[in-house]
Amino acid sequence: MEILAFGVQQDEKPLLEAAFAEAVGPLGHELRCLDVNLDADTAALALGHEVVVTPVNAVLDHQVLQALAAGGTGLIAQRSTGFNNIDLPVAERLGMTVARVSAYSPYSVAEHAWALALACNRSIPRAARRTRDFDFRIGGLMGRDLHGRTAGVIGTGKIGAAFARIAHGFGMRLLGWDVAENPQCLELGMAYVPIADLLARSDLVSLHVPLTPETEHLIDADSLRAMKDGAILVNTSRGGLVDTAALVTELRAGRFTGVGLDVYEAEEGLFFLDKSLDFVDDDTLARLVTFPNVLVTGHQAYYTADAVGQIAHTTASNVVDYLAGRRSENVLVPRPAA
């Protein structure tokens, strides 16, 4: 049996192929990698493939799921923790199994969040542009010591806790908000407070919660106005957590020292693609990237060899479990009962 993987990046491919060769090769199955993403236009490529492996930006709506099911797909193995791109009720109704990667290296995302925070605090992108032009003036590049200031961590699971440990290493005070307190964060001295208090008191706010109906636009106009003047906001979780239009309004008012975003609420059809020669009809994003104190990366926080390797091995294990009729904690929609 051939297993089809969509949206495979060039430097991801050898890690994915090695993981599948080890896991399913002895079972007589092989992996074929495509660099195109899965959407309504490419779903026909999966015809005859029982197992389809998808990236986080695949479009798995009603139309695509119906096309996959009609073509014989029984398992969707997503190479990510997030699954807000999959219409799970439709998949269940079609009798499809859906699995994800429930955990991988939390350090990959936490460290990238800190890369964004530090770059914003010390105006690294602006400084790099100047020095490329042999302009070595430092006016306008003044940052702040993070030591002794307050980091607010919204979402204190594995990634949020890793972010908090780094903040603790900088000598920062820690505030947290989550549905449950993390004992590891409490040991660091984190104080859990209502989100309004966290926003009002934090010099640096980093988002590490999943995107759900309850957390969509968690950082809205009111939340942004509640933040301290001169604060830094970082989002490496899901773009929909932030009301981007409201964020642009606050940026125009000069409210923040910096904003670091690895995700964007309208990134579908943009991120992971080369749009450098295209006209991008997104006024909000176009305005966002013009601010000198805003740094946007293309959903790459997870993208380390360590994390991607773990994702590949877990995805391959999910496929093996499906073929063997087993169910693990990674299964979102189980195989229908015989």
The catalytic site residues sit at 238, 267, 299
Task: Count how many residues are written for the chain.
Answer: 338
Q: Where are the beta strands (DSSP E) in the chain?
A: 2-5, 30-33, 51-54, 75-78, 97-99, 150-154, 173-177, 191-192, 204-207, 232-235, 258-261, 294-296, 331-333
- Burial (CB < 10 A; 0-12, 13-18, 19+), residue 162, is buried
The four Cα atoms 114, 119, 122, 126 give a dihedral, to 10 degrees, of -170
Closest CA to 158 of 101, 208, 106, 104: 106
If we measure between CA atoms, which residue out of 53, 159, 67 comes closest to residue 113?
159
Rg, Å, the chain Cα set: 21
Helix (H), strand (E) counts: the chain: 12, 13
In the chain, the amino acid numbered 254 is: G
Instruction: Select from 195, 185, 192 the least CA-distant residue to 161.
Output: 185
Tokens of 126: 């602006």
